[in-house]
Chain A
Amino acid sequence: MHNAAGRDIPETIGSRAVRPFAGASATPNRGSKAARPQKWVYERDSKLLASIEEAIEATELSDGMTISFHHCFRDGDRVVNQVLDACARRGIKDLRLYPTALFPVHKPVIDHIESGVVSRIEGSMNGPVGAFVSQGGKLAEPAVLRSHGGRWRAVEAGDVAIDVAFVAAPQADAYGNATGMRGKTPCGSISFSAVDAQYARKTVVITNDLAPYPVHPMEIQQGWTDYVVEVDEIGDPESIVSGTLQLTKSPTRLRIARLTADAVVASPYFVDGFSFQGGAGGISLAVTKYLGDAMERAGIVGSFGMGGGTKLLVELLHRGLIRTILDGQAFDLDAIESLREDAGHVLIDPGLYANVDSCGCATHKLDAAFLGATEVDLDFNVNVNTHSDGQLLHGIGGHQEVAAGASMTMITVPTLRGRIPVIVDCVTTVTTPGEVIDVIVTERGLAVNPRRDDLKERLTAAGLPVRPLEEIKAEAERLVQPIARPVFGDEIIAAIEWRDGTIIDVVRKVEGWT
């Protein structure tokens, strides 16, 4: 069948009946949320266990169960591999992995798939694990990719029942309060795991910095935590956060950033109380800087900037150009320090940030957002998951909810990456549908979604180079011979969920080349 994004998807994927994507805001979910397990601990002093293996035994983790992790240590994580190694040593098989995201550091997961310890993955796969899964035939069920809000929603809805949540914590006390803001390897908030910790049958906090009670801020609370394990190492500080993220020096990317900022300034949203989402990518950082300068010149004070917190966003707060930062995850040490020190720097969990099945999430209050993509197409559909060769290499992050929420969603992309065009006739995978995308910004000009003639008029009147997307595409294609396209077979590698749990697209196995 074809869903509302025009994608051909099956009625069932693995053992799951498919609810097809029906439109960005067409599928309100009714009914109640899943029940959280009743937990009760009478020991007053300590939930400490001596090792991860003891925790596996205590939680009665066994074959076929679901275990979850957060990705807040990014490519510096040491916890996922330690837990899986321990599971392997205990002979556990057929685990379903429910991470928020996997990174290149998690390459050993491949060995655990080969040996049968892991048989299913529901979570973002950045890099080698995604490439491995893309080969097909590796997992018992197709992988499932969800956005930050969609993952939170899936737990609350009971779509995914977690058996054991493992929560890596830069600092924790022996009674199970934990934070990512302090300790030897701070990573910013660890509230990505808050929903896991509340809904999982058992929750294990793993820390390398056991501190006196009570540890705070309590992103993970004692009332959710069954066990605490102290280990030598949970992450590599070098790869967890950057010292300071570097602004791009690439003239092409700076040009895209300049056009993006100019478009925001020309939009009707650039007034007092204006809000925006900035990211940690090179273009996003530059846009954030340009916007801050423009706000200062115009005498505008923003209501909030949404993070990924970065030094640049913190600077806007300190300069009084935004009143608040709503921060879901910190990308550099400056952001972490500001989270600890600045009253206006507010920590939000992914549910508040992005969950569509709530009485309103924060992304719905956004005016402007600038997001990246691997591909965009002439219907303004956006792909962030796969490359043009069909390889599944990236997660969704907050892309869907930010795009759906913001009044003016801009996709910032170069027209070419090396010899590979970024604007295509039809994206390899639809992550975010064109109906929620307003502007595509490239170094060769801006294309406005035909649904937004009002914006088009504003941007054109401001002298911005507004051009048909087809024209920008053709200009880039003049510089390179056409690329080959993958031919897909029937086997489904992964399902891409829209934020409401419907299926917006599937990733199929590449069988050949045109």
Chain B
Amino acid sequence: METRCGAEAKGDCLVVVDNDGGPKTDLAARSKQLLERGLRAVIDETLSKLDASDISIAVTDSGALDYVLVARIEAAVRGVLPEKPPISPPVQRKGTERDRPRRSRLYAPGNNPRLLAGIEIHGADCVLLDLEDSVPAEEKPAARILVKHLLAAVPFAEETWVRINPLDCGGLEDVAEVLRGRPHGICLPKADSAADVAKLAEELARLEDEFGLGVGSTWIMPIIETARGVLHADEVAAADPRVAIVAFGAEDYTRDLGALRTSESLLFARGRIVAAAAAAGVQSSDTVYADLADMEGLAEEAQRARALGFDGKGAINPRQIDPIHHAFTPSEQEMEQARAIVAAAREAELQGLGAVALNGKMIDKPVLERARRVMRHAEKLTKGGDRDA
């Protein structure tokens, strides 16, 4: 039997395997003299890891990075030999704090090596590798494997997340595969209830244990994008300690409502999600801005989202990151204010005063907490990300 995976497209490779007729390796590549040895090394090592060295394989390379090639081979081999266990690539990844700057979450389609290449360089606070809407059904098995190897191979400076499919539509298979690449978190689409989140959390705990990761080390980002989800936003946000941030998805939500997408029609959902997140002590992130050509519209919407209380916003293209970061980074004036408040609090503490005052005005505890958080995040932002080892 023969299966194929990948494509003859820039940054990808086409892998065709046949479990009859091996062992045999055919290789086609541009600049073959330069690349052949390296390509063969990857092919041999991957087949050996899969315990499938006796297979017949044909690779046509179009500039695939090593992890793409590994992923395509694994997907093709497991297509003909489903009993082969998945590869668990070595991963070095530092954990992240639950509360950290998450101004942007940059989506990238998990099935497209060309668009995934260099996804780590754009300075997004969260890189979000998508297995859901941007991946056609027939490509989902290969995309999971690609995302797994990408997570292991690429040096990310910031947080990595994977948007899985809904749990009853392939989401469990997604998690089982990609957790081997140790993402910082999992985005759960169409999160409608606390039960959805709990189910994912339970599965994560099981897999973390199985893979020898710390139990509880994987964050969850429920994406609220249905009318039901909006109404249950409070229980979703508070469903599990793994929930670090709640995101809003406006496209599905407006479709669910039969509403036009306007700032008015989204206001209720936005307000509710921000409030639910705040009540649960987690962050909230606004929906993506779909018009890539309209940078001013994006900047405006990001400013409005910040004013509503969101901590960040989704981006569908790296170009959108700058305006988003601009909107969600504390201004110099806000920093000034925060510094003054924190300093006043320290002064009050030194003098043994219970109440904190600044310029004759009392500072409430929540305001002080907010100021401390602004300072904490700002420090992270100026320091830059902790690059993976």
Contact = CB atoms under 8 A, between A and B. Distances in A.
A388 B34 contact: yes
Contact of B37 (A255, A417, A479, A481): A481
A419 B121 contact: no
A483 B62 contact: no
Contacts of A254: 318-319
Given A251-B318, A418-B63, A419-B61, A483 B118 contact: no
Interface in A469-514: 475, 478-486, 513
B196 interface: no
A252 interface: yes
Contacts of B280: none
Interface in A436-462: 443-444
Interface in B28-55: 30-31, 33-39, 41-42
A418 B318 contact: no
B376 interface: no
Given A251-B118, A255-B122, A479-B67, A389 B317 contact: no
Interface in B137-191: 153-155
B64 interface: yes
B314 to A, nearest CB: 16
B122 A480 contact: no
Contacts of A481: 37-39, 41-42, 66
Contacts, number: 75
A483 B34 contact: yes
A287 B63 CA distance: 26
Given A251-B317, A254-B319, A444 B67 contact: no
A420 interface: yes
Nearest to B39: A481
Nearest to A417: B63
Contacts of B154: 479
A416 interface: yes
Contacts of B63: 417-419
A217 to B, nearest CB: 39
Given A252-B117, A389-B34, A478 B155 contact: yes
- Sorted nearest first, the 9 A-B pairs with minimum C-beta distance are A418-B63, A481-B38, A251-B318, A483-B34, A252-B118, A479-B65, A443-B121, A513-B33, A484-B34
Nearest to B387: A475
B323 interface: no
A364 B267 CA distance: 58
B330 interface: no
18 contacts: A251-B122, A252-B117, A252-B118, A252-B121, A254-B318, A254-B319, A255-B122, A389-B34, A418-B11, A418-B30, A418-B64, A443-B118, A480-B38, A481-B39, A483-B34, A484-B37, A513-B33, A513-B34
B36 A251 contact: no
A168 to B, nearest CB: 34
B64 A484 contact: no
A387 B33 CA distance: 12
Interface residues of B, number: 32
B153 A479 contact: yes
A444 to B, nearest CB: 6
B47 to A, nearest CB: 15
Given A255-B122, A483-B34, A513-B34, 15 more contacts: A251-B118, A251-B317, A251-B319, A252-B121, A254-B319, A255-B318, A389-B33, A417-B63, A418-B62, A420-B35, A479-B154, A481-B42, A484-B33, A484-B34, A484-B36
Nearest to A416: B65
Nearest to B292: A249
A419 B65 contact: yes
A337 B161 CA distance: 50
Nearest to A258: B322
B369 to A, nearest CB: 28
Contacts of B36: 484
B17 to A, nearest CB: 20
A164 B58 CA distance: 54
Given A483-B38, A484-B34, A513-B33, A419 B318 contact: no
Given A419-B64, A443-B118, A483 B35 contact: yes
A419 B10 CA distance: 11
Given A251-B319, A252-B118, A484-B33, A475 B65 contact: no
A419 B11 CA distance: 8
Interface in A114-143: none
A419 B122 contact: no
Contact of A255 (B10, B66, B121, B382): B121
Interface string A250-263: 01101100000000
A255 B63 CA distance: 20
A481 B31 CA distance: 14
A23 to B, nearest CB: 32
A443 B119 CA distance: 10
A512 to B, nearest CB: 9
